[in-house]
Amino acid sequence: MPILLSRDNLKKIITVTDAIQAVEEGFRHYKGDHCDVPVRKEMRLDENQGIFLFMPAFMKPGNVFGTKIVSVFPNNLQRGLSTIQGVYMLNDPTTGELLALMDGIFLTSLRTGAASAIATKYLARKDAAMLGIVGSGGQAAFQAAAICKVRPIREIYVYDTNSQNAREFSETASRDLKLPVTAVDSVHEAVASADILVTATTAKEPVLDGNDVKPGTHINAVGYQGPTSRELDTITVKKARIIVDTYEGCMTEAGDLLVPIQQGELSKDDIYADLGEIICGHKKGRIDDAEITLFESVGFALEDLVTASAAYQKARETGVGLEFKLD
C-alpha cells in the first residue's frame, strides 16, 4: 500500500547528511551509465508568471523510478507562499505501482542544498570559512546547513532585497547553526568577504558585480532564472572555472551561461566539467587556492529520485507516513 509523506514526516526521517550521501552516490551511478534521466519538460504560464517542471528519473541500482512535478511562481512571495510548489511520486519500476507521494518543496530544497554541499566539498578551498548568501528565501537555510557539513564555516553574511527577510533568516540560522549570521545592507558586503558564495534568487538581471568576487572564491549559483535571465554577470562567469550539474540541463535552462554565450562573451567549450565527472575523478576539482570556481545548478531529476528513495526507505524502516488507497 502506498504511503503519504508530509513535510513534517520528511523532516523527521531524512537529514542533510543523508541527502548529501544519496545525491553524491546518485551522481556516481549517473556517470556509470546506470540511469535514465530525460531533460525536464517545462510548461510556462506567462499570464501568471509561473512555470511547471516535469522531472522523471530511473536508476538501475536499487531499481527506483520517480517523477517530480514542481512549479516556480516568483510572485508567491507577495502572497505569503513559497516560490516553489511541488509533489514527488515514487513508483515501483517493475510493476508501475505507486509507492509514495511526498512533499516536493522540502525534497527540492534538501537535494539542492545537498548538491551545493557536494560541489563545495570538491571545489572550495579546504580552509574556506566565510559564507556569503545572496537571497534569503526558503533555499537559503538548506544551503547554509548543507555547506556547514563540508567546510568549517565560522561566519555567514546574507543579503536580500527584502531586509526584513534577511534579518529573520539571520536570527534563525544563527540559532540553528550556532554561529554568527549577519544580515548586511549590500550585495557587496555579502560577496567581497566570501570564501564560498551562494546566489539563491529569482532575479532576472545580475545581482552582483563580478569585480567583488575575490580570488579563491567558490560560487554555488542555484537560483532559478530560465534561459533568458540570470543572477550572475558576465564578469563572474568569465573569471570562473565552470562546473555544471548536467550539460544538457544547463545548455537548456542556465541563463547565467546562455546569455553570455548568446552575446559572444562565452563559449560552450568554456564549461570545464559536470559535477559527476569531478566526483568520479574523471576531471580534477580545485586546481589551486587562487582560482574562482562556479557550480551552476539548474536542478537534476536524479537528485530528487535518490533523495526521495532514501526518505522512502527510512519511512518504511520507522513506520512514518500515512498509508492510503486510491482504488
pLDDT tens for 79-90 read: 888 888 999 999
The answer to whether 100 touches 312, Cβ cutoff 8 Å, is yes
Residue 38 phi/psi, 5° resolution? -65, 155
Task: Give the per-residue pLDDT at 224.
Answer: 75
- Nearest in space to 108 (alpha carbons), one of 147, 139, 78: 139
Question: Hey, what's the cell of 131?
Answer: 559564507
Q: CB count, 10 Å around CB of 24? A: 19
Query: Is pLDDT at 60 greater than 90 in this prediction?
Result: yes
Task: Give the per-residue pLDDT at 83.
Answer: 82
Is 68 one of the annotated active-site residues of the chain? yes
Give the pTM. Answer: 0.95
Domains and CATH numbers, the chain: 3-108+302-323 (3.30.1780.10), 115-299 (3.40.50.720)
Task: Label residue 118 by pLDDT band (50, 70, 90).
Answer: very high
- Nearest in space to 107 (alpha carbons), one of 230, 206, 27, 23: 23
Question: Hey, what's the cell of 205?
Answer: 538581471
- Nearest in space to 277 (alpha carbons), one of 123, 109, 117: 123
Question: Hey, what's the cell of 31?
Answer: 556517470
* pLDDT (mean) for 31-36: 94
Block residue for cell numbers 551545493: 116
* Per annotation, catalytic residue among 11, 41, 60, 68: 68
